[in-house]
Amino acid sequence: MQEIKSSDNQNGGILNIAGIGPGNDRHITPAALDAIREADLVIGYATYIKLVKHLLDGKQVVRTGMTEEIERARSAVSAAKEGRIVTLVSSGDAGVYGMAGLVFQVLQDMGWDRTQNPELRIFPGITALNACASLVGAPLGHDFCAISLSDLLTPWPAIVRKIEAAAMADFVISLYNPASGRRQKQIVEAQEIIKKYRGGNTPVALVKSAYRSRENIIISDLDHFLDYEIGMLTTVLIGSSQTFLFDGYMVTPRGYQNKYTMEGEVLEGQTPARSLVLDNNGIPNGGA
């Protein structure tokens, strides 16, 4: 087992990697807010810096654009190695399609380990998936996955294999980066793949800019969700075969109906705190 050693931080350099969630103070963790407040240098994509600009008075701020992620990560590491307190901000959670992984690649490339400066701190944030799900009900009540449809860094055939596997396994599927001005065919192909495994009436939610000023929510189904505008700020939530709509909410049941009545009584053939018992057809004994 590898022994984990921490930096003695002799030079005082700290690199905070903070997920700011949707970007408003109500949905940023207190720890992430503190990481921004303590920094003397804050680095981030220009759109995300704008979301926290009210926290940046008196701080040096570095804003960069799309496709400049590597330079952003290298600048943050270099400044922290010089002894500064740096906070690199990322929307959602920095470890989910965010900057944390790239920072680790930069650190690995320069031969850094935990005994060296800078001291590394990572602060979790509310992901786009969690934020969007909370606005439409409980779509993530059972197994789910997230797939990015952006082929800027991942080959499209590899993405297709992931969609196929997720659809076949009956995961609730969250599609990040589903479309852009130049990229429209991927979401169409994704729909075609998923429809091979689940019905056209499967609930689908489209959530744009969750908890931001231009928030927009549409509840549709697998047959018709492409009738609506879908862009880079949209997260697409596609239900499993068990997902249903209830009074405008999208719900994926955990499976309690396979073992209990809604009065809490155990169904015949089942035992609490024990594996689900199936019949010869693979159906839960006593289940729905």
What pTM does this model have? 0.90
> Same domain for 27 and 121?
yes
Give me the pLDDT at residue 183, please: 86
Pairing mode of beta strands 234-238, 203-208: antiparallel
Cβ(139)–Cβ(252) under 8 Å? yes
> Same domain for 156 and 86?
no
Residue 256, domain member (yes or no) = no
Note the pLDDT tens digit of each residue in 70-112: 999 999 999 999 999 999 999 999 999 999 999 999 999 999 9
Residue 285, domain member (yes or no) = no
Domain extent at residue 174: 129-251
Low-confidence ranges of the chain (pLDDT < 70): 1-11, 286-288
Give me the pLDDT at residue 281, please: 85
Residue 24, domain member (yes or no) = yes
> Same domain for 79 and 168?
no
Greatest distance between any 2 Cα atoms in the chain:
69
> Same domain for 38 and 108?
yes
Residue 270, domain member (yes or no) = no
Residue 288, domain member (yes or no) = no
> Same domain for 30 and 120?
yes
Q: Which residue spans within the chain are E strands per DSSP? A: 14-19, 41-45, 60-64, 85-90, 119-123, 137-138, 144-148, 172-176, 203-208, 216-221, 234-238, 244-246, 249-251
> Same domain for 111 and 134?
no
Point out which residues pair with 218 in neighbouring strands: 206
Give me the pLDDT at residue 280, please: 87
Query: Last residue of some domain: 70, 102, 126?
Result: 126
Residue 264, domain member (yes or no) = no
What CATH number has the domain bearing residue 36? 3.40.1010.10
Q: How far apart are CA 105 and CA 103, in angstroms?
A: 5
Q: How many domains does the chain have?
A: 2
Give me the pLDDT at residue 1, please: 47
What CATH number has the domain bearing residue 192? 3.30.950.10
> Same domain for 108 and 193?
no
Note the pLDDT tens digit of each residue in 182-213: 888 999 999 999 999 999 999 999 999 999 98
> Same domain for 135 and 242?
yes
Q: How far apart are CA 76 and CA 44, in angstroms?
A: 9
Residue 268, domain member (yes or no) = no
